[in-house]
Each structure stands twice: as C-alpha cells, then as structure tokens.
Amino acid sequence: MEHKQLKAFPKDFLWGSASAAYQIEGAYREGGKGLSVWDKFVRIPGKTYEGTNGDVAVDHYHRYQEDVELMAKAGLKAYRFSIAWSRIFPEGNGKVNEEGVKFYDDLINDLIAHNIEPVVTIYHWDLPQALQDAYQGWESRKIIDDFVNYAKTLFEAYGDRVKYWVTLNEQNVFMQHGYLMASHPPAVTDPKRMYAANHIGNLANAAATKYFHEHHFQGKIGASFAYSPNYAVDADPENQLAADNAEQMNAYYWMDVYAYGRYPDVVRQWQIEQGIAPEIKPEDTELLEDPHSRPDFMGLNYYQTNTVQANPLKDGVGLAAENTSGKKGTAQESGIPGAFKSAENEHLQKTDWDWNIDPIGLRIALRRINSRYHLPVLITENGLGAFDTLEADHEIHDDYRIHFLREHVKAIHDAISDGVQVIGYTTWSFTDLLSWLNGYRKRYGFVYVNRDEESEKDLARYPKDSFYWYKQVIATNGEDL
Ligand code: BG6
C-alpha cells in the first residue's frame, strides 16, 4: 500500500554494520585460540573458492582499533560482530582462555568509547573443532550444556555493556549447508541427520535464551534468521502451493520454533512420511515452549527473495550447489521433489552470483514476520556482494552498492510506515571480508580491504563511496538517501 506520509525512523534506530569472527579476524592460532571446524574445513581441497581461508582474513584481530576508528568516522550507531567460541574456550568447554576474553573486552570498550552499540553474535558457524571431535558437535545433545556454558560466560563477562545478543546466526544456513549439501563443515549429505542436528540446535538456542531471561541480564536476545520470502512464479494454484511449501519448509520451520516453540504441522507430517523426522522428547517441547525461551526480537538477515514453482515427487529437481563462480547466469535449478523448485523471476535483476535483487522483498519479509510473530525485528544483515575496483587514487566508486542499499533503506522506511517495529539495520558488511565459499573478491564492505585470493598485500583500508553515503544516511536518521 502507498502511504500519504512516511513515519520517521525511530530516534534510537540502530544504524550499523556487521561482520563475523572467522571472516575478519585472522590470527587463527594466536591469543590462545583453539581450532574451529572452519580452520579445518577450508583445508579440504575443493571446498572453498580457490582454497581461500581465514587464517589471516582481513587481520581485524590486530587492526580492530583502526576499524573501530573508521566506524566512528562513518557515524555508526551499532556494530554487530561475532565471538569465536574457540577464543573463549579453545577446547569448546573446560578452561576459559583469558586472552580471548580480553580481546573482546577491549573491542567492546573501544566501541563504547566511540558511542557505538555492540551487538554480539554468540555463534556464527565457527564451532570449536574439539567439540566436533569429542561428540560430533551439533549431532549430540551434549552441545546444549556446552553452548549454554559458553553463552553464560559471555553474558557474565560482557553483559554489563552489551545490550543486544544474537544467539545463532542463520541456523537454517549452517544446518542445511553442513548436513544436506556438504558445503559447510561437517560436510554431510543426510536429511535425517540434518533435522536431528537442527533440533538439537533449537534446544541449545532455547536453553541459552532461557538462561539469559531467567538470570535477568539487561538487554535483548534473539536468533538471526536468513529469511528469503518465497513467491509463486504465477497464479497457478499448484505453484502457489509450491510457494507455501517453500515458506513452511524453509522459513516457518525455523522461525515458528523461535517464536512459538513448535514446528509447523505440514513439515512435521512430511518428515514423518519421509522417515526423517527428528526425535522430540516431552522435555524438549517443554523447553521450546517455555516463555523464557522466547526471543525479544527476530533477527533478520535479508539478501533476496526466491521464486518457486511446483516440482514433481517422481524425478523432481533436487538441491543444487550455489553459484560460487561470480559468473552471472550459471546458477542451477534447485528444489525439493514433491514440494517446490526454483523458477526465474523476470521482474528482478540479479547480482553476479545470481542472487535476486529485490528491495520490496525486504518490506514483504518485515511485514510477514510482523504478522506471523508479532516481534520487533532487528535487521542483522543486508548488503550487496560485488566485484569492486580500487582506482589509482585509492577511491572505490561503488554506486551499484549505494543504489542497492538506498532502495533497501526505502523499503525499511515503508515497512516502518506499515506499522512494523524495526529496531535497527546492521548492513553486511563494514569492511570487506572473506566470503565463506566465494573468496575475497565478492566484496560487501563500506571499507575496501586491499587483499585478494592470491596475496594478502598490505591489507590497507580505503573507504568506498558507499561509506560516505551511509555516513550521510545515519547523520540524517534515514532522511537523506
Ligand atoms: C550470510 C552470512 O549468510 O550471508 C554471512 O551470515 C555471509 O556470514 C553473508 O558472508 C553473505 O554470503 P556470501 O556467501 O555472499 O558470503
């Protein structure tokens, strides 16, 4: 609907930007850190783009002060970053590594000294390898206590200063890539194991959230979900049903559990029929449905929408790997037989990695979350992965990124005017960083980092045109786009 007048962005709106430990820190064996599953996975030939890894990444571990300085220059109100579990507990549990605790303590203090609100992600995929070795990580219920213990350590260490906590980043992504597509650790392709591990992930998430609420830490906590709203390719009821299947299986299946503590019946029935349903014990339901396990906000990572159509059960299209080549038009059809498969959307442009560019989809995502869950939304990721060119004068003219972000900010403004409560927007990403599967050339940052796949070069930081654009957006609280 069109509005006669748009509502203003809230005064305390968290304009920010984001990152994740493995993608920026480097120093993978320094400061007493243990190895994570990613430190090992990247060494398996063929798993990442040209064998790239985060050993050095963009060296944020040694340059965090320079990075925070740049955040302050951009006028950031918030910065979302993740903590590497294996820096706090090198073995995943047991003895705390004080050097790791101090690193994030210093970072948090530095942010606060620059009036930047820290938004802390507890888990952004870098599970301590020791827990994978000890009991197969997310496949064992033992992880629930270890995750709560890790989260509790963070709440106690930083809870006096950190007011926004993200428990798990994109559980749907790390579970599906890790256990269905073998494109993340532990590189399994087994739907039954995926749903079993995912259920344990839900229990760990609920238990940590419950602990936080029961111990009256001041602040808000929620998971960040990668939500790509699904459209039907046309008005054919078969395709409309396919779009509903995709929403149920790829979105409600996670967000319903966060918000209500229960799985959608449609997916549960389908899993039982397929023989891949996770075991749900009565005490699991009790934990998931406990009011203290409810999130205070829904974290939304929004990049794109999906358009789908019907897909037959017999000889239907299965899951395909993503385009990691950066060659537009190379993405394969992908789907779940009997449920849905991808379709082209002639109304949308695509990125070089074949991600649909759809700002209105963000407004739709916000509205759907609002009407189904009635929770405030913190947009914890949104951004454009693109090839950037560093000019001779060290400028980067990323007008395509400005255009992308501007249109998405407009969509947020519209959603706020629709009545959705949006508390912040931390774009992906602040500096350029390592894309898990796409190397260093798929850049998202406001700040260019001078390195590529071949060489670490000098890792110098150069603000892009989008940096100055965002600074203006923040300074005018979203008025001047
Ligand atoms: C999200 C992740 O899935 O998308 C980030 O939380 C990631 O860690 C981002 O980098 C962009 O994805 P990609 O594959 O382009 O790096």
212-240 pLDDT, tens per residue? 999 999 999 999 999 999 999 999 999 99
Say if ligand 1 is within 6 A of residue 226 CB. yes
Predicted confidence band at 364 (pLDDT cuts at 50, 70, 90)?
very high
Q: What are the beta bridge partners of residue 422?
A: 377
Mean pLDDT of 379-401: 98
Band of residue 159 on the pLDDT scale cut at 50, 70, 90? very high
CA of 121 to the centre of ligand 1 (A): 14
Arithmetic mean of pLDDT, 18-46: 98
Active site residue 170: no
Percentage of residues in the chain having pLDDT higher than 90: 100
Residue 243, pLDDT score: 98
Q: What is the mean pLDDT of residues 461-472?
A: 98
Second CATH level (architecture) for the domain 14-319+331-476: Alpha-Beta Barrel (3.20)
Q: In which band, very low, low, confident or very high, does the pLDDT at 32 lie, cut at 50, 70 and 90?
A: very high
Q: Cβ neighbours of residue 216 under 8 Å, at least 6 residues apart?
A: none
* 347-367: average pLDDT: 98
Q: How far apart are CA 86 and CA 460, in angstroms?
A: 27
Note the pLDDT of residue 312: 98
Q: Of 41, 45, 6, whose CA–CA distance to 22 is shortest?
A: 41
Which among 402, 405, 410 has a CA at the least distance from the CA of 363? 410
Q: How far is the CA of 226 from the centre of ligand 1 (A)?
A: 10
Residue 195 has a pLDDT of 98
pLDDT at 394: 98
Tell me if 360 CB under 6 Å of ligand 1.
no
Q: What's the pLDDT band for 471 if we cut at 50, 70, 90?
A: very high
Q: Does the C-beta of 172 come closer than 6 Å to ligand 1?
A: no
Average pLDDT over residues 256-272: 98
- Cβ of 440 less than 6 Å from ligand 1: no
At how many degrees (to 10) do helices 98-113 and 60-74 cross? 20
Average pLDDT, the chain: 98
Kindly give the distance from the C-alpha atom of residue 382 to the centroid of ligand 1, in angstroms, as a whole number.
9
ipTM confidence score: 0.99
Catalytic position from the list 117, 381, 395, 454: 381
pLDDT for 86-130, tens place per residue?
A: 999 999 999 999 999 999 999 999 999 999 999 999 999 999 999
Q: How far apart are the first and last CA of the chain?
A: 21
User: Could you count the other beta carbons within 10 Å of the beta carbon of residue 374?
Assistant: 10
CA 94 / ligand 1 centre spacing (Å): 31
C-alpha 391/C-alpha 366 separation (Å) is 37
pLDDT in tens, 300-318: 999 999 999 999 999 999 9
pLDDT band at 382 (very low <50, low <70, confident <90, very high): very high
- Tell me what the mean pLDDT of segment 274-283 comes to: 98
**What are the sequence ranges of the domains in the chain?**
14-319+331-476
The model's confidence at residue 137, banded by pLDDT at 50, 70 and 90, is very high
Asked if residue 442 has its Cβ within 6 Å of ligand 1, the reply is yes
Token couple for 48: 């990442």
Q: Rounded to whole angstroms, how far apart are CA atoms 157 and 255?
A: 29
CA-proximal residue: ligand 1, atom 14 (nearest): 435
381 ligand 1 Cβ < 6 A: yes
pLDDT tens-place string over residues 413-454: 999 999 999 999 999 999 999 999 999 999 999 999 999 999
